[in-house]
Amino acid sequence: MKRFALLSILFAVLALTASVAGAQPPELRGTWRGSSHIMEAAGPREGQCAYVINVQEGQLFSGYKLWFDAKKVLQKETFTGVFGDDGNLYIAERDDGYTMGQRTSKQTMSLYYLEHGALNKAILYKLERVHFVTGFVEIDIDGDRTLVHAEISTHYPLNAERIMAEADTNKDGKLTEAEWEAWKQANTYH
């Protein structure tokens, strides 16, 4: 009986290990936006940011992040990353620092940025995937509104570059927060 119990446990562990090793990484591509909570020598401050993951090959991914600096001008920095076997995200940023984190649900993630040196800082990002839902409904010919066909689909936009260029109204290549807010106001559908 002990031998049977031991073999059962061994097979269960092997099966679990095989299923974890064969699991596909989650789809990360899309635009993730949210808040940033920053601690630096001058003290804490808050902001908004977006991570755009536009390339993913298995566990590896790349993209860029966007945020407004102290002068309220949009900044962009590229990054590369890996979705680790442990389920965590590891990101190397182009200029400085490293970001680590995890998905907290299918549509949210928390990231933790650390930068050392004279301009040291720590940032907590709370991000949510941007998505649009569209619907299509057909009604029958006699107009009695009997549902014949319905379709709902979710889209994850990757067109941040086009939107940023459109919002930069003076076309100087520097999107300001005022230009961004004006673009959002003009393009919000109520």
**124, 37 contact by CB (below 8 A):** yes
Summary count for the chain: helices (H), strands (E): 3, 10
DSSP 9: H
Bridge partner residues of 14 (DSSP): none
Q: How far is Cα 144 from Cα 135, in angstroms, rounded to an integer?
A: 20
Of 53-57, 94-98, 166-170, the poorest mean pLDDT is in 166-170
Tell the residue number behind the tokens 């020598």, with chain if given. 41
Categorize the per-residue pLDDT at 96 as very low, low, confident or very high, splitting at 50, 70 and 90.
confident
Kindly list the distances between the CA atom of residue 125 and the CA atoms of 60, 146, 150, in Å, as whole numbers in the listed order.
20, 46, 37
Its sign, for the CA torsion 117, 119, 121, 127, is: negative
pLDDT in tens, 110-164: 999 999 888 899 999 999 998 765 555 555 556 555 544 445 555 555 666 777 7
Alpha helices in 1-119 (DSSP H): 2-21
For the domain bounded by 30-129, which CATH number is listed? Answer: 2.40.128.20
Domain spans of the chain, in order of start: 30-129, 132-186
Report the pLDDT value the prediction gives residue 164, as an integer from 0 to 100. 76
**80, 96 contact by CB (below 8 A):** no
